Amino acid sequence: MTMMMKLSVLLLAFSAPAALGLTSPINSNQVRREFLGLVGGIGSLVLLPDSSLAAAVSQEQKDKENIVKGYNRLQFLLDNWEKETTVCKTGQETTFGDSCERTPFKVMDYLGYKNIKDPLFKADATMMRLKNSVPGDREVDFYEAMEVFNQNAEEASSMAFISSWGEANPGGGKDRVIVFIERSKKNVIASRDSLKTVIDILNL
């Protein structure tokens, strides 16, 4: 007997026992307990889909917010490029006798490669989860933007990593570090632009 059938029988037993051919008194307390138990069970079944839907909506909203936050962070990095890729150490000189030097590590930070809490951490997976929100006539543009972002984010991170060893490599020096950092900037620009395309497609 299904839960709904049991509930109907209990209601009938409580309100009109004769209809069920019952001649002995009905234990109202027992019927009430069983009735409330069934109602609670049905309520939980009804609420489960709503809970799952709420979780899905929450994840989708979080993903959209992370895309926008990631875009804004890359824009900030580009607007403050030299400042964000320069580290000054008070009272400590570098190999070249000054207290400031260019560093690539902020590039990897902003692209989400060093912190799982960064909005662009595993950005490819974030964008893939949003594919169902893409209008049918923009699917090709969306996947192309994803590909451009992934490719340039990886290249930017690679260039930044290589530049960190610029002084240590044979024939290397401060100028080589700057060359690789500036190369990574081009990839960061492309990454930012691809995120802007995604934002426009999703109307964020």
Residues shown for the chain: 204
Instruction: Look at residues 164, 149, 156, 161 and name the one whose alpha carbon lies nearest to residue 194.
Output: 149
Q: What is the pLDDT of residue 46?
A: 45
The SS3 call for residue 171 is coil
**Joined tokens for residue 43:** 């309520």
The pTM score is 0.67
Q: What average pLDDT does the structure give for the chain?
A: 77
More confident residue, 116 or 87: 116
Q: What is the pLDDT of residue 35?
A: 47
Rounded Cα gap, residues 162 and 144, in angstroms = 27
pLDDT bin (cut points 50, 70, 90) of residue 110 is very high
pLDDT digits (tens, 9 = 90+) for 58-83: 999 999 999 999 999 999 999 999 99
Share of the chain above pLDDT 90, in %: 44
pLDDT digits (tens, 9 = 90+) for 145-163: 999 999 999 998 887 777 6
Mean of pLDDT values over 167-178: 62
Q: Residue with structure tokens 């984010």? A: 153
Q: Residue with structure tokens 């889909």? A: 49
